[in-house]
């Protein structure tokens, strides 16, 4: 019998709620709550929601009216979700539009423990500014650093969407002890580009996240939305395909492209140590040689 088979399992059930969002925040919250209940009924102990799930993805345009969607964190949404978490004994990761002060807003994820306690928040560090993803208009970059939350069931590191492209963010979160890297996400295709670039774009998105799991020996949980939002002739077609991958980068479960889904899958936290001792990337890091990583670019001198 191999060593891996003799190790005590540490099974945690992870739930993903992939949503098709609407313009009605109350309807979206009710949909999220129903998804959390459905996941808990399937045995989920940790449930993750998509990025900015309370609204349509409003960053497709620069419009001051959308600042009215923001709320304090903690605030009304965390209070509502805390009651649900305590009732169902589940951990909830919820992505919210945070109003910190007058004129100061963040793209923020709140983490609520299984007893309903608000554990804290992570503010999105990397803010994109691309066609139909005009987030710099709305969000101030995060200033809380990279964080890990010690929940009842696992240590969760939360990063948000554009953060998922940066190995530095995943590494620093993993170095704080994360068992799971959780990425609430809102990403999709520009319909005019889909035929030519769609497959490569989606593959890049999934591969980069799975590679963070491999490099750091962590589980990865990525939760997207689905459906078309915005201009019917353009807009964004969100590609769904929320997934969980294990520390070897293998996909455990993947949601469909074009419909909402509630998925629950078991992860075994004991596999993290097995993976890290067989592929000891953290052991062999040359931390004495990485000082230049804090420079923008290494110009020739």
Q: Which active-site residues does the annotation give?
A: 51, 124, 161
Cβ neighbours around 296 below 10 Å, total: 5
Q: What are phi and psi of 93, to 5 degrees?
A: -110, 115
Contact assessment for residue 138 and residue 67, using Cβ atoms and an 8 Å cutoff: yes
- Where helices occur in the chain by DSSP H, the ranges are 3-6, 25-41, 76-88, 167-175, 191-216, 270-278, 281-284
| Lookup result for tokens 């890290």 | 276
Q: Cβ(15)–Cβ(149) under 8 Å?
A: no
Partners of 228 in beta bridges = 237
Cβ contacts of 105 within 8 Å, gap of 6 or more: 67, 70, 97, 98, 99, 138, 139, 140
Burial 251-282 (b: 16+ CB within 10 A, else e): ebbbbeeeebbbbbbebbbebbebbbeeeeee
Rounded-to-integer distance, Cα 294 and Cα 265, Å: 37
Nearest CA to 164 among 99, 221, 92?
221
**122's tokens:** 């992570």
As a whole number of angstroms, the longest Cα–Cα distance in the chain is 63
Q: Could you give phi then psi for residue 146, rounded to 5 degrees? A: -90, 135
């Amino acid at each position: 019998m191999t060593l891996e088979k003799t190790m005590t399992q540490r099974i945690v059930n992870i739930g993903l709620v992939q949503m098709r969002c609407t313009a009605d925040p109350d309807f979206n919250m009710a949909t999220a709550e129903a998804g959390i209940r459905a996941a808990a009924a399937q045995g989920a102990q940790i449930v993750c929601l998509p990025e900015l799930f309370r609204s349509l993805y409003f960053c497709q345009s620069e419009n001051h009216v959308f600042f009215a969607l923001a709320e304090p964190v903690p605030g009304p949404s965390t209070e509502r979700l805390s009651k649900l978490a305590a009732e169902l004994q589940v951990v909830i990761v919820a992505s919210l539009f945070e109003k910190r002060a007058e004129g100061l807003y963040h793209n923020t994820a709140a983490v609520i423990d299984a007893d309903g306690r608000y554990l804290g928040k992570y503010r999105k560090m990397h803010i994109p500014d691309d066609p139909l993803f005009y987030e710099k208009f709305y969000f101030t970059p995060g200033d809380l650093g990279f964080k890990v939350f010690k929940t009842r069931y696992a240590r969760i590191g939360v990063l948000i969407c554009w953060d998922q492209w940066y190995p530095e963010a995943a590494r620093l979160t993993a170095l704080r002890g994360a068992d799971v890297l959780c990425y609430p996400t809102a990403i999709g295709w520009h319909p005019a580009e889909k035929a030519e670039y769609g497959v490569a774009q989606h593959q890049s998105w999934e591969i980069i996240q799975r590679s963070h799991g491999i490099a750091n020996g962590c589980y990865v949980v990525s939760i997207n939305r689905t459906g078309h939002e915005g201009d019917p002739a353009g807009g964004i077609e969100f590609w769904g395909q929320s997934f969980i991958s294990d520390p070897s980068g293998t996909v455990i479960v993947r949601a469909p492209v074009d419909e909402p889904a509630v998925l629950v899958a078991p992860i075994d936290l004991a596999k993290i140590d097995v993976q890290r001792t067989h592929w000891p990337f953290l052991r062999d890091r040359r931390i004495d040689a990485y000082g230049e990583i804090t420079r923008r670019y290494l110009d020739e001198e």
